[in-house]
Amino acid sequence: MRLALASGIIPPEVAREAVRAAVDENGRVWVEMPDDFPRDSSSALTRIGVTLHGPGTGPAARDYTHWAELLPLRSHPAIDFRGEVLVDVPDSALARLVGEIRRVRPQPIAVRMLPETGRGWILVRDPPLYTVLGLSPEPTDSGSEGRAEVFFEQAPRVWVLAGWHHPLDSHLSAPGGTVALVRPGQEWEYVPDEPFNLARDGFALSAGTQIGRTDPAATVVLTTKLSLTRTQQTSSATESLWVLPGEPAETLAELARDTDEQLLRRFRACVLTSPQGKVTVVRAAATGKGSPPVLSAATRGYVPHTALSNLYLQPGTCLSPAVRPQGLAKLLGLTPDLIAWATPEDGGRFAVHRAPVASFRAVADWVSYRVPTNVSLAVAYQSANYWQAPAYVLAADKAPAVPSPVPAVPPAGDALKKDAASGDREGWISRSLGKLAGRLMPGASPGRIKNSKRRSTPAVSDAEPSGRVGEKLASTQALLLGNEWSARRTALEQRVLTDLPRLPPAERTRVWVELAEVYSAVGYPADAAVCWLNAVWDSDPPPVPWVDNWLRAEAKTARVAKGGREPEVVFRAAPVAAARVAAAHLVWAAGQPTQPAETVAHLPRFLALLGEYGAEIPARALWLARIAAARLSDGDALGLARCRDQVFRRLVEKGPGLDLDAPSFLRFRGGIGGDRFVTARDWLARAREPVHRWIARFAHTGRLQWAGIDAETECTTAYADLLFAWGLSKLGDRSRSREMEASAGAVLSRVGGPSADPMVHRVLRAAFADRIAAAQDGRPDRPGLPLDAAADLLRLDDLGRYAVEKLRAHCRILEPVDLINPYRNRDLGGFLGSDALGERLARVLARPDLAPDPGEIRGLLADAAADPTASTLPRVVFVLVETAPRLDPQVSADVLPLVPRAIELTPEWVRVAVQTTDPAAVTKRFGARMMTAACHVAVLAHLPDSFRRAADAVLIACDTPGSSSVRAVEQVAGPFFRCLRRLGLHSHASELLGRLDEGNSPGPRELGLAVGWFAAGNEDAGNRTLNAARDRLFVSGVPDDRERTALALAYAVATGHAPPRIALGRLEELFLRLDIISAHGATNRYFTLKPLELIDTVIRAVVSDDFCLGPGVRGWLDDDEFLIRRRVTRDLAAVLGEQ
């Protein structure tokens, strides 16, 4: 049939007409020939093997719209997700899918609802790879009613399911007024061709939907039910509000009796009257230092809402659906002067209780102390021994004699300088002579013998201090405020984080001005400039002194002379710094009564500078500068529109820059202080050169790199720079990070050879660029590669793809989420089995970059629960933990407790299913993989309760000699104890360490136990293991390269968990004294793997997970983005209205 249509034996005009045909059970096509079918075409058909039969022969026929519909689809595995894509999705999942596509790749999305089928269509261009791949599972016999499908337009109005294609493009068509959906093995589906809805959020509702109208012309009003639901995610916030029932006086008295007075001062309380009686509400005061106090009360407490600091919920509950903080505060009637808490009721409903902040008083103010009255004893006290003398006698202290003041005679000439330099302390020679004289001449005082060259002048007690102490005491600011600057700054920073987005503009401006003045007083001009910029932004028009202060702060930060008021001085600064000063200068010039002629003359130069470096300055500064330039040039609506698009594109792709648009204190909110932040950043900048020299020691002839024998150093050094660039971006050093990234990119773009594919470096460069940009913008980690890099990865040959995936598997900076298997599961060796269950498991592992079908995963979990034996549990748990990063967190929570039992059953399954001569080694390998994957997903999804159950099972297994799960923990002790530390399971770490043997020689196992000692708080035991491993690495030496490599990696991991004061010095020493490690491998034609793995481990140890942004900071950035968008839209509308 395909040959007949493609060769034209069947005329095109006939092929486009309807036909009656059928397909029998053997796949043969039977066609009822039309009456007007050409005779010569019939003869040609017989020559290519077509047989002609009489009427009534063959199976029952049906109508087809055209002949091409008779041809089956062909599999097309190479999918290119570029261009327009049609997604057929159930209407219940349409809103979520549209929101995900807009979040990942913002663009106009066309939507069409199909109310009669309960489904909807989404038309999108260049969709996100991960989203689309997750929606295109392999077709099954069960139909497509409950899942989403992705279609590509192979011909006009003919959409074919992704992964398939029709063999004849030119013969495809759909009847007029219809759209065809083509699926393999099914009839073509024709749907009326109706226009899509291109409105941003307008979707047609089905007829059964209840809507509220006041009249036929009224706007549709949709109401959403806000409910309080239980959540499986464990919040890290601690309880900070408690509602205590009972009589207030008795409640407060009991609280005072059971609580330390110092802790009691950190609580605030108020008494409220409700229909159920009086209750006492206790709230932990925000001190700004350390963690909030915890009240030991029987009543369950409340934790603060992630976005509204004055709203409290019970732990384990959340408000759904998610609402923006401003909208939620409006719905609940919350203002900054109120405290509210929500109590659950039946049916997901909840009640909100409110109390004024002013009604809370310190609990210590409610409590008064009194001395109890003396009680006379019934029996008089009698001493046991009347004549016992006291052990010692006290004598009254004599008043010291006050010496008469002796005026000091200042020495003259050089003696003055000499005495001033020597001070009042005696040298060791004088002290020794004094002691010797005291022994030889008992009557003489040892202190009477002085050095003859030394002069002594009596100190005058009333003299004023001099030097640096005197200067500090004489400071005006110190005399006025003393040490209150730090407390005032902390209070203002806390208010900026918690309350600022909800305050009116005037109040926000006042807070920004106060914080800017504090930063200026303590010597932080960069942060002061950001605060003055925000104050100018929230006031329209801004006061002239505020703009002056902003310009002076920017000029001081960039070291621009004359306060940045002369253009020529501004242009001589560094480009990025000059752009920031230029923005402030333009705003200052536009606010002057008379426009500065020099500024107007240099206006094109200012605009060119902002155009080139606009992405490197705050979004607010860029917009205010363009507004000021428009005023100086009598209007530029087109330039403002382009600037608006630039700012909005930047906000969509990156959001507000944490290192540009916000004060620096937001970056180290939480457990990390600014001193450690700066120390880590300086360490990364300093360690780059030692790392380069260490990599250079691997250099050889390079002629055997293609065989994996000689090490590669040039590209390895470039990838090391990309790792350092990620670390500096994480710590906010954008300039040095950009320099390292550009230097590495230049090297990787020019290297190559006859055996190297440059596309490998292009894929890895794109992956590193995405991770570095995410670190700069403070975005959370996402799985997979960027879209273009993923498409290029599919085009690589086996060795090139292996090199990319090998680095992703061993570099957690490059792939922080997914568990990559570069061997594509060819290393399983029959572990999955060859039965039906094994085939199902193999299909799940076939596409690790896709989220598996939830129904299939639930089915596998049910099979494991129904038959938890050696033939089922080990391989099912292995597959589920390997794919856990892309599974629902609840599924991962159900799988984690099964891991120890699955490892215990693994030896029995290996003996049955795996053909090997060393079953013990295979058991160790799969047990270690399962335990490592379980630790990774427990930290990734934050599942402390599930992992606690797994740790309890390991503790029980410690009583069984030769336990496989205990051996697996010992083999991966570092990741296991790191997981316990991250999840707060310190008691489990201590108990498990007490049951494991420490070992004799310091190796990877013992260093993993050192991680456990640091997690349990025993730094002495951890340091002892580190010292022993250090001596073995640097003193005695390890002859074998592989053993030295494993020991160095374990040493770096364990050192990263030591206190920072110890860790940084040891990590720097690692690259100064460590001998070369294993450098063999198939990736050597592109890079040397093991040195990069060690550098990745060290950088992640320095830039720990403590530097990640918390939910409070992320919420603040979302609110800040809204404020920027609102002001830009308003300003542009005003300018267009004026013109």
Q: What is the pLDDT of residues 683-712, one digit of tens each?
A: 888 889 999 999 988 887 556 666 667 788
For the four alpha carbons of 138, 141, 147 and 151, in that order, the dihedral sign comes to positive
**What is the mean pLDDT of the segment spanning 1106-1116?**
56
Q: What is the pLDDT of residues 523-534, one digit of tens each?
A: 888 888 889 988
DSSP 122-142: EEEES--HHHHHHT-PPP-TT
Q: Is the pLDDT of residue 347 over 90?
A: no
Per-residue pLDDT tens over the stretch 823-848: 888 888 888 888 888 888 888 888 76
Q: How many CB atoms lie within 10 A of CB 378?
A: 5
* 84: β partners: 125
Asked if 1009 and 977 touch (Cβ cutoff 8 Å), the reply is yes
How many CB atoms are located within 10 Å of the residue 237 CB? 18
Token pair in block for residue 1061: 């004061």
Q: What is the pLDDT of residue 646?
A: 85
* DSSP-based three-state secondary structure for 220: coil
Q: SS3 for 158?
A: strand
Q: How far is CA 457 from CA 317, 407, 425, 430, 444, in A?
A: 73, 9, 12, 17, 21
Asked whether the beta carbons of 797 and 1076 are under 8 A apart, the reply is no
- Here the tokens at position 801 are 């793809």
**Confidence at 216, pLDDT banded by 50, 70, 90:** very low
Which of 56-65, 229-238, 522-531 has the highest average model confidence (pLDDT)? 522-531
- The residue-averaged pLDDT of 990-1002 equals 77
- Is residue 2 helix, strand or coil? helix
Q: Tokens at residue 576, please? A: 């990025």
Tell how strand 110-114 and strand 119-125 pair up.
antiparallel
Measured between alpha carbons, how far is residue 790 from residues 133, 740, 896 in Å? 11, 24, 30
Percent above pLDDT 90 for the chain:
9
Q: What is the pLDDT of residue 305?
A: 87
The pLDDT assigned to 296 comes to: 55
Instruction: Say if CB 828 and CB 808 are below 8 A apart.
Output: no
pLDDT in tens, 860-893: 988 888 888 888 999 999 999 998 888 888 888 9
Length of the chain: 1139
Say what the pLDDT of residue 146 is: 58
> How far apart are alpha carbons 826 and 419 in whole angstroms?
82
Residue 672 pLDDT > 80: no
1051 in Cβ contact with 1009 (< 8 Å)? no
Confidence of residue 1095 (pLDDT cuts 50, 70, 90): very high
C-alpha count within 13 angstroms, C-beta hemisphere, residue 825: 18
56: its two tokens: 């009534």
Q: Minimum mean pLDDT among 146-150, 188-192, 483-487: which range? A: 483-487
461 CB-contact burial (10 Å; exposed 0-12 / middle 13-18 / buried 19+): exposed
Q: Give the pLDDT band of residue 999 (cuts 50, 70, 90).
A: low
Q: Is the pLDDT of residue 72 over 50?
A: yes
How far is the C-alpha of 1082 from the C-alpha of 804, rounded, in Å? 11
Distance CA 206, CA 819 (A): 43
- pLDDT at position 641 over 80: yes
The answer to whether the CB of 732 falls within 8 A of the CB of 777 is: no
- Report the pLDDT value the prediction gives residue 432, as an integer from 0 to 100: 57
The conformation of residue 753, written as its DSSP 8-state character, comes to: B
Instruction: Please report, as a single letter, which amino acid is at residue 1119.
Output: D
DSSP 899-959: HHHHHHHHHHHHHHH---S-HHHHHHHHHHHHHHHHHHHHHHHT-HHHHHHHHHHHHHHTT
Please name which of 281, 285, 262, 261 lies closest in space to residue 271, comparing C-alpha atoms. Answer: 281
- The pLDDT assigned to 442 comes to 47
Q: What is the pLDDT of residues 744-795, one digit of tens each?
A: 999 988 876 557 788 999 999 999 999 888 887 767 788 888 888 888 888 8
Q: Encoding tokens for residue 147?
A: 């899942």
Rounded Cα–Cα distance for residues 1116 and 658 (Å): 10
For residue 935, the model assigns a pLDDT of 93
Give the pLDDT score at 648: 84
Mapped onto helix, strand or coil, the DSSP state of residue 539 is coil
Distance CA 1026, CA 1002 (A): 8
CA distance 831 to 173: 48
Which parts of 445-572 fold into alpha helices (H)?
467-473, 476-481, 484-498, 505-522, 525-537, 544-558, 567-571
Strands 338-344 and 311-313: parallel
The phi, psi pair for 389, rounded to 5°, reads: -80, 150
What are 253-306's pLDDT values in tens digits?
Answer: 777 777 777 777 778 888 888 777 788 888 887 554 445 566 655 567 888 888
Strand partners, 29: 23
**Structure token pair of residue 652:** 């969509």
Average per-residue pLDDT for the chain: 77
* Residue 245 to residue 281: CA distance in whole angstroms: 9
Question: Residue 862 is which amino acid?
Answer: A
As a whole number of angstroms, the distance between CA 812 and CA 24 comes to: 54
Please answer whether residues 154 and 169 qualify as being in contact, where contact means their C-beta atoms are separated by less than 8 angstroms.
yes
* Token pair belonging to 204: 């047609």
